[in-house]
C-alpha cells in the first residue's frame, strides 16, 4: 500500500506563563492511500492540535517543537510558504471544526464553491461553474442548492456544501476535524454517507477526527486512540473495538452509552493536564491494571500483532 | 387526580419576532405529559435541535410564560406557585443545565455555589456548613479535599457538573429538571454522572425530567420517553419499548440513524434524505414530520394526527396507526 501521509514523532506545544503545554507530545502514524484513518480521543487529548500541526496551521502561542510530516514525498514542515499554499486545497484540503458556520452569508453556494476552485487553480470561472452541480450531487444535495444562500440551508446541508467545496479539486487527502459533531442524527448519518461515497467514487483519502467512538465505528478503516498527547493504540477499527489492547481503549469503549447496552462503566479519575503529564505511562493514575513500572517508565509504542500498535507495559516484555 | 407530581396540559408557546411585520414561531404546540407522584420516576424528553425541548424546560421553570395551556406541580398551577411561594417551588424543583462552564463565577471558589444554597434556604438548621458540604460530597462519591477550595478553572467539566449534583442533593428536591447535562462531558466521565443521577432516584426518591438529543443516554437513564418533533409530541411510552420497536416513522428514522459502536455491524443500507427547505418545515396544519416522512400519505398534509393508543402504555401520533 502506498503511504500518502507519514507523521513522525510530531510534537506541538503551546507557550504560556505557566510553562509549556505539551498538547501533542511525540505522535507517529501513517495514512495509506484510499483509506479513512480515524483519530479518536476525549477532549484535551490533542486531536485538534495534532491536525493543526500536521497541516502547519498552528498559531501562536502554539508552535511545532519537532517532528516530520511527509506528504506526497515532501516534508510539509520544511516547505516554503508559497509551495505550501500551492498544495493546500488542491492536494491537501481541510475541513475545520464548526466550519459549516464559516460559509459567507451573502454569497450563493455556487459562487463560494467557484471561488474556492478559481483561487487555487487556473481554471476559468465558467468551467468551474459547470462543475458545481456534480460536486453537489456527490454529497447528496440537489441542484437547487447552488442558487441558495447559507441561511436557507440546514446545518447538515451546510456541512455537505463545505465537504463539496473541500473536495472540489479532487485533493489526494482530506483532513476533517469533527465534521459531524453538533449535527442531528439523521443528518449526521447523511454526512457520514457523503464522506464514504467520496472515498468510494474518487478514492479520496480521509484523515477523520472525532470524539464520538460510534461514528468511527461506522466510517473508518483504521483507528488511532489518543490520550494525553500520545497515541495509545492504533489498528484496524474492528480489532480496536473487538479486541482492544490498551486498557484505556477498552475502558473507553465500555463507557460508550448505547441503546443496545444495559450498563456502562465510567473511567474513574480525572483527565491529566498538558502542563504536567503524569510520569511513566500517562494513563497510569486511572488504569486498573497499573504496575510499579508503569509509574516511572514510559511504555514505548510497539507493534504487537499485524498492523497493531500499542503503548502499554502489559505488552512490553516480548519484542 | 393529584397523583401527578408534574402535569403539563396542552402547553403551547409561540414566539413572536419582528417589530412591525410580526413573525410567529410555534416552538411548543399542544404538549401534554405527566410525571407520576406516587413513585420516583425519570422521564426523558428526546428531540433534535429546534424541537422545543429547552422551551419546555424554561416553561416548567417559569422563566417564560406559556401562550396557552398550563403546568401543574402537585396539582397547582406553577404561575400561582411562583407568585405565592416561589422559594418552596425553587427548593423542590431543581435544575441542572447543559453548560458546566458558564454556571460558575470564575472569581469565586467552587465552595460558594454550595454555601449560597445553604444560606439562601437555611439548610442544615444551624449545623456547621462545612460539615454539611463535606458529607454531601461524600454521598456522591467526591472526596471533599479534591474539589473544595478550588477555582472553577482548576476543575474539569465533569467535576463541575457533579458539583451541581451535590448542590441539588443539599436541597433534597422532589424533581430535577436536567437539560442535556452530560453533552459537554467526556464519555469516560459520563457514566459516573449518570449513575449518581440514578442513585438520586433510588436512594432519595427524586424524580426527573431529563432532556436529551441522545437516545443512548435516554435509554440508560429514563423509565419513560417522550419524542418531540418540531414542537409536537409524536410518540411516548416506556423507554425500552421506544428504542427497541419505535412506532412513529420519525422515531424509527432517528433510532435507525444512531451510529452503533460496533464496526462489524455498520449501517446496511443508505438512507435517502428528503431535502426540505426550512420554510417547509412547519406546516401549520400538517403532521409535524410531514416534510421529511418516507411513508407520507394524503391525510398527513391535512391535519395533525391525534394520539392513538398502542398496547397498554404507548401512544403515537400518526395516521398509520388508526
pLDDT tens digit sequence for B36-95: 999 999 999 999 888 889 899 999 999 999 999 999 999 999 999 998 888 889 999 999
| Residue A238 cell numbers, joined | 474492528
| Residue B38 cell numbers, joined | 406516587
Angle at B11 between CA B311 and CA B95, to 5 degrees: 95
Q: Does the structure show a pLDDT above 70 at B279?
A: no
- For residues A231 and A301, is the Cβ–Cβ distance under 8 A? yes
Mean pLDDT computed over B25-36: 92
Q: Judge if B132 and B160 occupy the same domain.
A: yes
Domains of chain B: total? 2
Q: Choose the closest CB to B188 out of A185, A260, A266.
A: A266
Would you call A217 and B220 a contact, using CB atoms and an 8 Å cutoff? no
Angle at A176 between CA A175 and CA A179, to 5 degrees: 175
Q: Judge if B35 and B60 occupy the same domain.
A: yes
- For residues A65 and A269, is the Cβ–Cβ distance under 8 A? no
Q: Which residues pair with A27 in a beta bridge?
A: A10
Q: Choose the closest CB to A217 out of B49, B261, B278.
A: B261
Q: Quote the CA–CA distance of A183 and A66 in Å, as a whole number.
A: 35
Q: Judge if B319 and B229 occupy the same domain.
A: no
Q: Judge if B257 and B170 occupy the same domain.
A: no
- For residues B197 and B96, is the Cβ–Cβ distance under 8 A? no
Chain B residue whose CA is closest to A143: B275
Last residue in a domain, options B244, B268, B302:
B244
Last residue in a domain, options B244, B260, B285:
B244
Q: Quote the CA–CA distance of A146 and A133 in Å, as a whole number.
A: 7
Q: Does the structure show a pLDDT above 70 at A130?
A: yes
Q: Which residues pair with A142 in a beta bridge?
A: none
CATH code where residue B209 lies: 3.40.50.300
User: For A170-186, how does the pLDDT look when each residue is reduced to its tens digit (9 = 90+)?
Assistant: 899 999 998 888 778 88
Would you call A270 and B254 a contact, using CB atoms and an 8 Å cutoff? no
Instruction: Write out chain A residues lying below 8 Å of B191, CB-based.
Output: 255, 257, 264-266
Which residues constitute the domain of residue B301?
245-322
User: For A195-246, how does the pLDDT look when each residue is reduced to its tens digit (9 = 90+)?
Assistant: 898 888 888 999 999 999 999 999 999 999 999 999 999 999 999 999 999 9
Q: Judge if B204 and B254 occupy the same domain.
A: no
Q: Is A285 on the interface with B (CB under 8 A)?
A: no
| Residue A222 cell numbers, joined | 483504521
Last residue in a domain, options B244, B270, B299:
B244
Listing from the earlier edge strand, what are the strands of the sheet with B314-317?
B93-96, B175-179, B207-212, B42-47, B224-229, B232-238, B314-317, B307-310
- For residues B168 and B94, is the Cβ–Cβ distance under 8 A? yes
Stated as kind and residue range, the H or E segment containing A26 is: strand A19-32
Three-state SS at A215:
helix
Q: Judge if B223 and B253 occupy the same domain.
A: no
The answer to whether the peptide bond before residue A127 is cis (omega within 30 degrees of 0) is: no
Q: Judge if B65 and B138 occupy the same domain.
A: yes
Would you call A213 and B253 a contact, using CB atoms and an 8 Å cutoff? no
> Which residues, 6+ apart, have CB-to-CB distance to A268 below 8 Å?
A286, B192
Mean pLDDT computed over A31-51: 92
Q: Is A213 on the interface with B (CB under 8 A)?
A: yes
Mean pLDDT computed over A65-81: 91
Q: Quote the CA–CA distance of B221 and B252 in Å, as a whole number.
A: 20
Q: Judge if B87 and B103 occupy the same domain.
A: yes
Mean pLDDT computed over B216-230: 94
Q: Judge if B148 and B174 occupy the same domain.
A: yes
Q: Judge if B273 and B124 occupy the same domain.
A: no
Strand residues in chain B grouped as ranges (E): 4-17, 23-36, 42-47, 68-73, 76-77, 93-96, 175-179, 207-212, 224-229, 232-238, 307-310, 314-317
| pTM for the structure as a whole | 0.87
Q: Judge if B209 and B312 occupy the same domain.
A: no
DSSP-derived secondary structure letter, A88: B
Instruction: Write out chain A residues lying below 8 Å of B188, CB-based.
Output: 42, 251-252, 255, 266-267, 271
Q: Judge if B166 and B286 occupy the same domain.
A: no
Would you call B259 and A270 a contact, using CB atoms and an 8 Å cutoff? no
> Which residues, 6+ apart, have CB-to-CB distance to A215 below 8 Å?
A180, A188, A192, B259
Q: Is B261 on the interface with A (CB under 8 A)?
A: yes
- For residues B14 and B24, is the Cβ–Cβ distance under 8 A? yes
- In chain A, positions 75-94, which contact chain B (CB-CB < 8 Å)? none
Instruction: Write out chain B residues lying below 8 Å of A154, CB-based.
Output: 278
Q: Is B198 on the interface with A (CB under 8 A)?
A: no
* Buried-state track A125-152, b at ≥16 Cβ within 10 A, e below 16: eeebbebbbebbebbbbeeebbebebeb
| Residue B125 cell numbers, joined | 438548621
Q: Quote the CA–CA distance of B194 and A251 in Å, as a whole number.
A: 16
Angle at B191 between CA B188 and CA B193, to 5 degrees: 110
Amino acid at each position: 500500500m502506498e503511504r500518502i501521509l507519514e507523521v513522525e514523532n510530531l510534537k506541538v506545544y503551546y507557550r504560556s506563563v505557566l510553562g509549556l503545554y505539551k498538547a501533542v507530545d511525540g505522535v507517529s502514524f501513517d495514512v495509506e492511500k484510499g483509506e479513512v484513518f480515524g483519530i479518536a480521543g476525549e477532549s484535551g487529548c490533542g486531536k485538534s492540535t495534532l491536525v493543526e500541526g500536521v497541516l502547519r496551521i498552528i498559531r501562536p502561542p502554539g508552535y511545532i517543537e519537532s517532528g516530520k510530516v511527509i506528504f506526497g514525498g515532501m516534508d510539509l514542515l520544511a516547505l516554503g510558504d508559497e509551495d505550501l499554499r500551492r498544495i493546500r486545497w488542491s492536494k491537501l484540503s481541510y475541513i475545520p471544526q464548526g466550519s459549516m458556520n464559516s460559509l459567507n452569508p451573502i454569497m450563493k453556494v455556487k459562487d463560494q464553491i467557484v471561488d474556492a476552485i478559481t483561487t487555487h487553480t487556473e481554471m476559468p470561472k465558467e468551467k468551474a461553474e459547470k462543475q458545481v452541480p456534480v460536486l453537489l450531487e456527490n454529497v447528496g444535495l440537489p441542484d437547487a442548492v447552488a442558487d441558495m444562500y447559507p441561511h436557507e440551508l440546514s446545518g447538515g446541508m451546510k456541512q455537505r456544501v463545505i465537504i463539496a467545496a473541500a473536495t472540489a479539486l479532487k485533493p489526494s487527502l482530506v483532513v476533517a476535524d469533527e465534521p459531524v459533531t453538533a449535527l442531528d442524527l439523521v443528518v449526521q448519518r447523511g454526512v457520514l454517507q457523503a464522506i464514504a461515497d467520496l472515498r468510494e467514487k474518487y478514492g479520496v483519502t480521509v484523515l477523520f477526527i472525532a470524539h464520538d467512538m460510534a461514528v468511527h465505528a461506522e466510517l473508518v478503516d483504521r483507528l488511532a486512540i489518543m490520550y494525553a498527547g500520545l497515541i495509545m493504540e492504533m489498528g484496524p477499527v474492528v480489532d480496536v473495538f473487538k479486541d482492544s489492547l490498551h486498557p484505556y481503549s477498552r475502558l473507553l469503549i465500555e463507557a460508550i452509552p448505547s441503546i443496545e447496552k444495559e450498563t456502562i462503566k465510567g473511567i474513574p479519575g480525572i483527565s491529566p493536564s498538558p502542563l504536567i503529564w503524569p510520569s511513566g505511562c500517562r494513563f497510569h493514575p486511572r488504569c486498573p491494571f497499573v504496575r510499579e513500572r508503569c509509574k516511572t517508565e514510559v511504555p514505548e509504542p510497539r507493534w504487537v500483532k499485524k498492523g497493531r500498535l500499542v503503548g502499554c507495559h502489559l505488552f512490553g516484555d516480548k519484542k | 387526580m393529584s397523583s401527578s407530581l408534574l402535569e403539563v396540559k396542552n402547553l403551547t408557546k409561540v414566539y413572536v419576532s419582528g417589530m412591525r411585520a410580526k413573525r410567529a414561531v410555534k416552538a411548543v404546540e399542544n404538549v401534554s405529559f405527566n410525571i407520576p407522584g406516587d413513585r420516583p420516576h425519570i422521564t426523558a424528553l428526546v428531540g433534535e435541535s429546534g424541537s422545543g425541548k429547552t422551551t419546555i424546560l424554561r416553561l416548567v421553570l417559569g422563566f417564560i410564560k406559556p401562550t396557552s395551556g398550563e403546568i401543574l406541580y402537585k396539582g397547582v398551577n406553577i404561575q400561582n406557585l411562583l407568585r405565592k411561594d416561589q422559594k418552596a417551588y425553587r427548593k423542590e424543583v431543581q435544575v441542572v443545565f447543559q453548560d458546566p462552564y458558564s454556571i460558575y463565577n470564575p472569581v469565586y471558589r467552587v465552595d460558594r455555589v454550595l454555601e449560597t444554597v445553604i444560606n439562601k434556604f437555611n439548610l442544615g438548621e444551624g449545623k456547621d456548613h462545612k460539615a454539611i458540604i463535606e458529607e454531601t460530597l461524600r454521598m456522591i462519591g467526591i472526596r471533599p479535599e479534591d474539589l473544595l477550595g478550588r477555582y472553577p478553572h482548576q476543575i474539569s467539566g465533569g467535576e463541575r457538573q457533579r458539583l451541581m449534583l451535590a448542590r441539588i442533593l443539599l436541597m433534597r428536591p422532589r424533581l430535577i429538571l436536567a437539560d442535556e447535562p452530560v453533552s459537554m462531558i467526556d464519555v469516560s466521565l459520563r457514566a459516573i454522572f449518570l449513575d449518581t443521577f440514578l442513585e438520586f432516584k433510588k436512594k432519595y426518591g427524586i424524580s426527573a425530567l431529563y432532556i436529551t438529543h441522545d437516545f443512548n443516554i435516554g435509554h440508560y437513564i429514563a423509565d419513560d420517553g417522550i419524542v418531540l418533533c418540531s414542537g409536537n409530541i409524536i410518540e411516548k411510552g416506556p423507554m425500552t419499548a421506544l428504542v427497541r420497536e419505535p412506532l412513529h416513522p420519525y422515531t424509527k428514522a432517528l433510532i435507525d440513524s444512531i451510529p452503533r459502536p460496533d464496526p462489524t455491524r455498520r449501517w446496511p443500507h443508505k438512507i435517502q434524505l428528503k431535502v426540505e427547505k426550512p420554510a417547509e418545515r412547519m406546516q401549520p396544519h400538517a403532521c409535524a414530520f410531514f416534510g421529511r416522512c418516507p411513508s407520507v400519505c394524503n391525510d398527513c398534509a391535512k391535519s395533525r394526527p391525534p394520539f392513538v393508543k398502542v398496547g397498554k402504555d404507548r401512544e403515537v401520533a400518526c395516521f398509520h396507526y388508526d
